[in-house]
Amino acid sequence: MDPLFDFTDKVVLVTGGSRGLGYQMVKAFAERGADVIIASRKLDKCEAVADECRALGRRALAVSAHVGKWDECDRLIAAAYDAFGRVDILINNAGMSPAMPSHDVSEQLFDSVVNLNFKGPFRLASQIAKRMYDGAGGAIINVSSSGALMPLPQVVPYGAAKAALNAMSESLAWEYAPHVRVNTLSPGAFATDATSDWSDKPLAIPRGHVGAPPEIVPAALFLASPASVNVTGSLVRCDGGQH
């Protein structure tokens, strides 16, 4: 295995890790030697992914957590450190983007979108970054969206929350340097179950089509690995040139 992408004995925590892009990242790290913590709201889905990783010879912990709520973020952190003693790589991947005309967005929906896409990731990143800083260091990847970089109608709270996530990454990269690297991974349109009804036609993608979920993996591996040792506070687009 290329030593730049050997994650043997590393501990990786992925929120939203039971499906979609999160699942692809969990499996990729486990295949390269990492022990993994899979978090999402549905424990049975997390356990199924954990079983796949254990079949590879990895240690895996499944945790049910709504990471839009700080008490559940704290419970997830406690479970991770109780099980493994540390987190080397945190991937804040959980998110949602229900489409709705802006004038129909309720306060409850607005809060739910902002909490899941920004408030919770801030709690996880800040608390784990401090532990990483006081320990052996680590890497944090905040998964954003092209919706934070381009105008998208009917998902305004989502785009705004992801833009806040982008700014957060830069600030945390400064605050916890030099021991912790914090970067943003910005996917565009990917063909996951959450976007199964999308059409390629209205999307301006130079590559010509939406991404396949495994295509997120190289960018995630790069940002988590020694290959990006001099990369922090950066935003890496994985969107086929979508704009």
What CA–CA distance (Å, rounded) separates 47 from 63?
A: 8
Catalytic one among 81, 133, 158, 176?
Answer: 158
Most confident listed range (75-79, 93-97, 150-154): 75-79
| 236 φ/ψ angles, rounded to the nearest 5 degrees | -105, 115
What CA–CA distance (Å, rounded) separates 128 from 108?
A: 28
Q: Which domains does the chain have, with CATH numbers?
A: 3-238 (3.40.50.720)
The end-to-end CA distance of the chain, in Å, is 35
Residue 201 pLDDT grade (very low, low, confident, very high; cuts 50, 70, 90): very low
Q: What is the largest CA-CA distance in the chain?
A: 52
pLDDT value, residue 196? 47
What CA–CA distance (Å, rounded) separates 129 from 182?
A: 9
- Across the chain, how many H-helices and E-strands are there? 7, 7
**81 catalytic per annotation:** no
Average pLDDT score over residue span 111-135: 98
* pTM listed for this prediction: 0.94
User: Hey, CA dihedral for 192, 196, 202, 208, is it positive or negative?
Assistant: positive
